[in-house]
Chains A and B, each alone.
Chain A
Amino acid sequence: MARKPKLLWIQSLTCNGNSHSFFNHSNLFSILSHFELIYFPLIETKYSLEDVLRKKVHSDILIIEGAIKEDLTKGGVNIKELIHHYAKESRYIITAGTCATFGGIFKQSEPEKISGFAFDKENEKEDILSLYEHRLISLPGCPIHPKWLSYVLLMIINRRRIPLDEKNRPQELYGFTVHTGCVRNEYFEWKIDTHGFGHKEGCSFYENGCQGPFTHGSCNKILWNDTSSKTVVGTPCFGCTEPDFPKERLFSTKTNMGIPQKMPLGIPKRAYLTVTGIAKSFKIKRLEKKVIDYEK
């Protein structure tokens, strides 16, 4: 039997949310059974953090969690340098989460010093990409979706090529928008708003700031915790997989003469306006009503 690939998970500047998100995977141990787990922050392995920091272990697949900060140290070891040490020998490098991929929330505290591993927001870090581009897989999301990560790990194990986009994101996950599969699609089609928070009826695109139509990701195709998603429960999508996450005023839609400023991905404004004009010229009674009458 061939040797199992070594899986090494390193944390940089992070909230630990990706570790906890992945740990919640229903099939966690079946997935891990394909690997030799060298280090993962929540599970005991043969090796200690000291061993990782002292470069006593090896890595075939490196998972990076958290943003890169120039001078961050743990136990006296510079983490950026440590990540490069293991990246050099790894066959795959996965940036797990928006912080590791683009810089994320924490970048805002010291923008010059903090960034993603290979991207600084939108921008490519050319020195890094020239070294690692062909081994790099970006998995943004705040936090990472457990099943997106397992998809990548199992593709690697099964020796299948993962189609990537220009930011090294798997197209099978990020080729869709969060809008794809949202239960509120019918209301989007007919341009019917939620009218505030706390309603199963309506779409959050018009007032509540939903970024689903222009956010790359499969949150509504591969549900969260196998059960739901933000937009399903009436929370707007905040675009947490995007390089510019977090934007400002996350609970309200920026509009221009009543029309959302930012268009659904790839849809020309003219097309949107035409469709909207038609949709709005009809009153669809069923969609204006509450779906269920509960006797109070």
Chain B
Amino acid sequence: MIVKKLIEKIEGEAELEFDFQDGVIRNVDIKFNLYRGIEEILKNKAPRDALVITPRVCGICNHAHLIASVGALEDGINRSVKKFEITEKARDIREFTLACELIQNHIKWLYLTIFPNLNRVLNIQESKNYALKAMYVSNTVTKALAIFAGQWPHSSYAVPGGVTCDPTFVEVMQAKSYIEDVIRFFENVVLGIKLEEFLAIKSVTNLDKLKGDFARILFMLGKNGFGKIGQSYDRFIVFGNSKFSMPGKATATTVSGADIKFVQEFEQEGSFAKAVKYKDKFFEAGPLARGIVAKEPVIKSMHKKYKDSTLTRVFARIYESAKLLYVANEILKNLRIMQDSCTLDSKIRLEEFEGIGVAEAARGSLIHKTEIENGKIKDYQIITPTQWNLANGAAAAKAMIGLRSENIASFVFKTFDVCSVCTTH
């Protein structure tokens, strides 16, 4: 029996087709329909124009696209035009603004997707305005982001050689206050304990210290069996190297190196989205992957007890938000604003090269590949995190197989933080 479901209030929409046999889901077909042809649009444009066009792939992870895009240009310049390095300051500012975007994303996911949907699946009536919490965090953390990047969404402030901004301490201190506001919210509302106290927790057995919304969601998920469902391939991949991510891959919790050259895209029949595999295998990308590959003790402990279940996946994303807040705050504390913002001449000619850029977006590793010929973009390829997770047969589909209800399955699907606009682009 085929059951169709239109999934909304993710980024865009998706249509799921569940194939039930004897009351059990045997297969799920995932369809996205919002193809916009970004890669085609980029052809023949000036190389730097990608910094303006690619953020428009996605309204929620636009900044990650910018960072991957500038990375691709810089990689190419470094390999074929001129050796250079960006300053620590420029790198820190980029990592800071990217961290802000991830926080914005994760908190929206928690309050706009997870809480309302879990309540619906479990038939819990509540009149809390979760959206208000999401708005508060998103509004505040993107203020901090915009202080450096000019605006969110759709900044293009990262350019080959660094960043366009040249902040004074006036801006840095303002940004710091915004981050501290978000930390305060986190401690009072999400965690119920101090941020550092939470980040010091290494084992599942100490999670009973948590109060707040985090405790509530873990309790609801645990009580309703979400620690036992939603398991996927148990293979994880990360390419971004930053203060909040380490590159590598893992099978269960055994970590090893990963090389981008083994990443391959595949056409999928009847879908605009291409699938992605690493050495012919599906991997999961995102906060859980980042936690596992970085060997975060509490994530390993969760994994030991609950495997790569829905509970672990949700935990990893909220845990990462806390970690990102800590990292963001540390970056501002140590920012060396006296260094140069940009170390490359803006007039340097970009004639001919190939480059690859990577960024850890909210949903996982984002890869941009650019090929420049005669001063123009000859080919541009974007591999988004959601292609890792949401292609047919990939991590999210696998996590739904074996379930007995399409409503539960849809919830499991949404815990992957689905983004249809990125998947198809």
A interface residues, Cβ below 8 angstroms from B: 11, 13-21, 23-26, 28-29, 41-44, 48-50, 72-75, 105-106, 108-110, 142-143, 196-200, 207-208, 219, 224-235, 238, 240, 246, 248-252, 292, 294-296
Contacts and interface: CB of A to CB of B under 8 A. Distances in A.
B157 A17 contact: no
A198 B340 contact: yes
Contacts, number: 206
A231 B146 CA distance: 12
Q: Taking each of A20, A73, A110, A200, which has the highest tally of chain B beta carbons within 10 Å of its own beta carbon?
A: A20
Given A109-B41, A235-B157, A198 B166 contact: yes
* SS class, residues of chain B in contact with chain A: mixed
B143 A225 contact: yes
Determine the interface band of chain B, counting residues with CB < 8 A from chain A: 35 or more
A23 B140 CA distance: 12
A43 B152 contact: no
11 contacts: A25-B135, A29-B135, A49-B13, A75-B13, A143-B59, A228-B146, A228-B150, A230-B157, A248-B46, A250-B51, A251-B346
Contact of B163 (A15, A198, A246): A198
Contact of B8 (A48, A108, A198, A200): A48
Contact of B150 (A13, A207, A230): A230
Given A13-B36, A198-B161, A234-B166, 14 more contacts: A14-B59, A17-B154, A19-B59, A21-B153, A29-B132, A143-B59, A197-B159, A197-B162, A224-B151, A227-B143, A231-B150, A234-B165, A235-B155, A235-B156
A72 B339 CA distance: 49
Interface in B94-115: 108, 112
B164 A250 contact: no
A28 B143 CA distance: 15
A146 to B, nearest CB: 9
B97 to A, nearest CB: 10
B330 interface: no
A105 B50 CA distance: 12
A275 to B, nearest CB: 25
B337 A16 contact: no
A240 B49 CA distance: 13
Given A106-B37, A199-B166, A228-B147, A208 B346 contact: yes
